[in-house]
Structure formats: structure tokens, C-alpha cells
Amino acid sequence: MSKFTFVDERQWIREEVVGHAIDRCTLWRDDTISFSFVKMPPNYDLGLHKHESWVAVYLVEGTMKWESDGEERKVSAGDFYFVPDGEKHVETSIDECLVMIIKAEPNVQYRIDPAGNRM
């Protein structure tokens, strides 16, 4: 059966994400995939981290910086990127961002040091 989440029904919670508190609204989730919105305040650095399963990211509003293995990209509203499982990366908001996150579940994510070791 179809699942709807209307704007006036959305519930935002403060959640721990790779060592940072962030506002998240889960739109839909089951045992294999989830869809959510995340709000990032300006200049919010999530730090070096990785996920044990894939993550798809669509930037709805704002501008952010994505970094991985010496590569850096500016991501703007309307842009999309895909992070394969195990890729170490950093996301930093430049201004306030609204981000749609689609990810495989379960999605274990954690901070790492530059050598890739779990912190």
C-alpha cells in the first residue's frame, strides 16, 4: 500500500549523526531503505566518517562542500551525489542546508581518523 507523509505531519527530531546532533525528519523507513530530510546549520562540519552501506544525497536547499581522498566538490541546491559503502568523506554546510537522504538500512555510520580507523 502507498505511504504518504504530508508537510503538516512531519516530525523533526534531534538525532546523533557521526558524533553531531542534527535535526532529522524520517519520511519513510523499512528494513532495507530509508528516506529522510536533514537540516544542517551554516558552517556545520560532519567530520571525516564512513557508512557501512550506500547513501544517496540530494541537496534541496543551500550549499555545501563534499570532500573525499583529496577531492573537493561544491554541492548546490538541486545537486545529487551517491556515496558507496565504505567511502570515507566529509560534508560541511556553507550556509543553511536542507538535505534529502536516501540510504540502505541498516546504515551504520561512524567517525574515522585519516587512516580510516574507527574513532
Looking at residue 48, which CATH number applies to its domain? 2.60.120.10
Report which of 58, 46, 54 is spatially closest to residue 21, judged by C-alpha positions.
46
Under 8 Å between Cβ of 58 and 109? no
Q: Is residue 8 part of a domain?
A: no
pLDDT > 90? residue 110: no
CA distances from residue 55 to 12, 20, 118 in whole angstroms, order as listed: 20, 18, 19
Number of domains in the chain: 1
The closest of 20, 30, 36 to 100, measured between CA atoms, is: 36
Indicate whether 60 pLDDT > 90.
yes
Whether residue 78 has pLDDT greater than 90:
yes
Beta bridge partner(s), residue 118: 112
Residue 19 scores a pLDDT above 90:
no
Instruction: Please determine, for residue 89, whether its predicted confidence score (pLDDT) is greater than 90.
Output: yes
Domain interval for residue 100 = 21-111
Contact 80, 58 (CB under 8 A): yes
With respect to residue 45, please indicate whether it lies within any of the assigned structural domains: yes
Residue 56's pLDDT is what? 98
User: Is position 15 within any domain?
Assistant: no
In a domain, 85, yes or no: yes
